[in-house]
Copies of this chain bind each other. A is one copy, B any other.
Amino acid sequence: MASSVAAADTAPITHTDAPEAVVVRFAGDSGDGMQLTGGQFTLSTALAGNDLATFPDFPAEIRAPQGTLFGVSAFQINFGSTDISTAGDAPDVLVAMNPAALKTNVEALKPGGLIIADTGEFTKRNLEKAKYDSNPIEDGSLSKWDLLAFDISALTIEAVKPFGLGNKEALRCKNMWTLGLALWMFDRDRQPIVDWLNSKFAKKPEIAEANIAALNAGHAYGETAEIAGPLRKLHLDPVQQTPGLYRTITGAEAVSLGLVAGAQLAGLQMFFGGYPITPASAILHNLTKMKEFGVTTFQAEDEIAAICSAIGASYAGHLGVTSSSGPGIALKGEAMGLAVMTELPLVIVNSQRGGPSTGLPTKTEQSDLYQAIYGRNGDTPLPVIAARSPSDAFECAIEACRIAVQFMTPVMLLTDGYIGNAAEPWKVPDPNDYDPFPAKFLTEKNGPDDTLLPYKRDGHGVRPWIKPGTPGLMHRIGGIEKAIDTGNLDYAPTTHQAQTDARKAKVDGVANAVPLQDVSLGNTSGKLAVVGWGSTFGPIHQAVRRARAKGMDVSHIHVRHVWPLPRNLGDLLRSYKKILVPEMNTGQFKTVLRDQFLVDAQPLNKVSGQPFAIAEIEAAIAAFFDNIPDNEGGEVEPNRSQLPSVKAENQ
């Protein structure tokens, strides 16, 4: 999603023969290196100037037994010469490295799509493991797709023969063979991959060479086109992009970089307290490699210790950050209350995954919104920000740091498994383009008669930050209700009422320090607003784009500041006749909107561990217009904007 969304909206949807975009899914055994293949293909795509979005989908098991259905690892990429904001619905091309990969993925393939399968792996044993009664390559059951089946295993072994690898090691190069073929298909340069292989295996040059040989062999296979039929070379033009320096970025990387940038903008050292959990661990892993930015990371004994250590660090004058996913965030609730009560800055990152309980650790979901906004004892408000995409996570992380520091409050930043793992091109920002928000520490007594007032609030209701070690400002804080200004223990009814109100007012006031809500796509009033938050951005955006192209009066509003809500949001929503809220949960943001604005927000829920398909949202929009008695929204026509399959293009 590199180009601006507004531009995408105004661009007419062209119905030419060259596909706007193509979706490829690589699927294989966990051991087959599909994530690596996908990653390198992504890089090559980015270098080719296409816009792209990816969706890695891997099993919960570390290394599931070879060939099993639950051991399949897949990587999907959607790329094209137009604005791309989802990993795509149905793939045009499926690369299936074994029967299990075929079985678990083929149903997603578009009718007429292309299957590339490695017959070398379609052995009796593997077919059994994949619970196939007969060989699908031979029994005609794949007839609604184009099938290109050949012995990639044998071809790879052949290709790497000169390097004297054992059979097992030789077969490890299969993924590069496949990548080579894919590079040929999409008219790509092999050199960046060759460079990468050389640097990756710098210490084992024979492995590098074997992989390069496999890559070249796969490419040559396409070139020499031994097989006639569905395999065609396809060139997608580069997308129109703002000039500048680009890289690909995943959400986990973006959060990490954004936190570092946020701490730098605040002029603070960062302390990160974490405890490993899927899919949040990557943030810990990334930050521990950024120590030179004044980052200290601490792998605590559990999530409670992780957040408490981060609060301790904030108390000591660092920017405390902690991160986890659902179950771990649940454990942090009590400590968040202390951070709210002591009014210390803190950033809490939740990389949401499928729940409840252990749930689906490697799958994506948005079901921790209730927990984020409401999930604490007491009246314990804190701001919540949700990132919409990998690159947006960078901006959101900075924003979280800013609000935490400027308002002396814990802030929750929501991402999810999809954003965390997915990659997209990112125009590398210039740090100088961001306004710094330097943290201020009290250095002198702030009360009358040479007194210290640790809870004296400023015009925004914010108390001063006082670092231990500062001479003369010794004081005590804690989780018990406290007197106005002095912060001394105070259980008086009026005090509690006043401080509860003050804490609420402070957090509500954050709404005055964040941008007004904009409309991502469409108009500021109309028949239908599709309101989203978080990683549903891509599919909502595309679905609304398509619906608008068909003439439907529908707009897309995507909310970053999910608490407190932007102060114009209520009026904005009231300017539409109907409101649809797609969420990967059972309707949590819908609750917030209905409560806050008394608008009839209607839920569209998906809780399957998978992102929305564009078509699912499109269908819901269409259904909405169908249901309008006089069909004011326009006829729903055959969906011509749906991307044609590769096959269709080639025939």
Contact = CB atoms under 8 A, between A and B. Distances in A.
A298 to B, nearest CB: 21
A326 to B, nearest CB: 3
A601 to B, nearest CB: 9
Interface string A358-382: 1110110101101101111111110
A296 B586 CA distance: 38
Nearest to A591: B595
A380 B360 contact: no
Nearest to A584: B379
Contact of A496 (B374, B503, B600, B608): B608
A331 interface: yes
Contacts of A600: 598
Contact of A360 (B496, B588, B590): B496
Contacts of A377: 325-327, 329-330, 355-356, 367-368, 371, 375
Contacts of A610: 493
Contacts of A484: none
A590 B379 CA distance: 14
A445 interface: no
B606 A497 contact: yes
A497 B375 CA distance: 23
A530 B484 CA distance: 33
Contacts of A365: 378
Contact of A337 (B356, B370, B598): B356
A359 B499 CA distance: 11
Interface stretch (A196-204, A398-406, A474-482): A474-482
A410 to B, nearest CB: 11
A415 to B, nearest CB: 14
B594 A358 contact: no
A337 B329 CA distance: 12
B360 A341 contact: no
Given A326-B378, A330-B337, A370-B375, A360 B608 contact: no
Contacts of A606: 497
Given A359-B481, A360-B480, A595-B595, A374 B376 contact: no
Interface in A511-543: none
A359 B480 contact: yes
Given A360-B480, A496-B607, A608-B497, A355 B378 contact: yes
A340 interface: yes
Nearest to A355: B378
Nearest to A600: B598
A588 B374 CA distance: 9
Given A371-B377, A377-B371, A379-B585, A341 B359 contact: yes
Nearest to A609: B496
Given A359-B479, A367-B377, A378-B368, A496 B327 contact: no
Nearest to A60: B491
Contacts of A500: 586, 607
Contact of A357 (B337, B360, B595): B337
A188 interface: no
Interface in A281-334: 325-327, 329-331, 333-334
A354 interface: yes
A70 interface: yes
Interface in A585-626: 585-586, 588, 590-591, 594-595, 598, 600, 606-610
B380 A376 contact: no
Contacts of A358: 338, 341, 478-480
Contacts of A368: 377-378
A129 interface: no
Contacts of A497: 606-608
Contact of A356 (B330, B341, B478, B598): B341
A497 B60 CA distance: 18
Interface in A184-223: none
Contact of A607 (B334, B379, B478, B479): B379
A376 B373 CA distance: 11
Contacts of A354: 378, 481, 491, 496
> What 9 A-B pairs have minimum CB-CB distances, sorted nearest first?
A355-B378, A326-B377, A356-B378, A357-B479, A493-B608, A370-B374, A358-B479, A375-B375, A356-B380
14 contacts: A60-B480, A70-B489, A325-B377, A330-B377, A333-B371, A338-B358, A354-B378, A356-B376, A356-B377, A359-B481, A360-B481, A370-B375, A371-B377, A494-B608
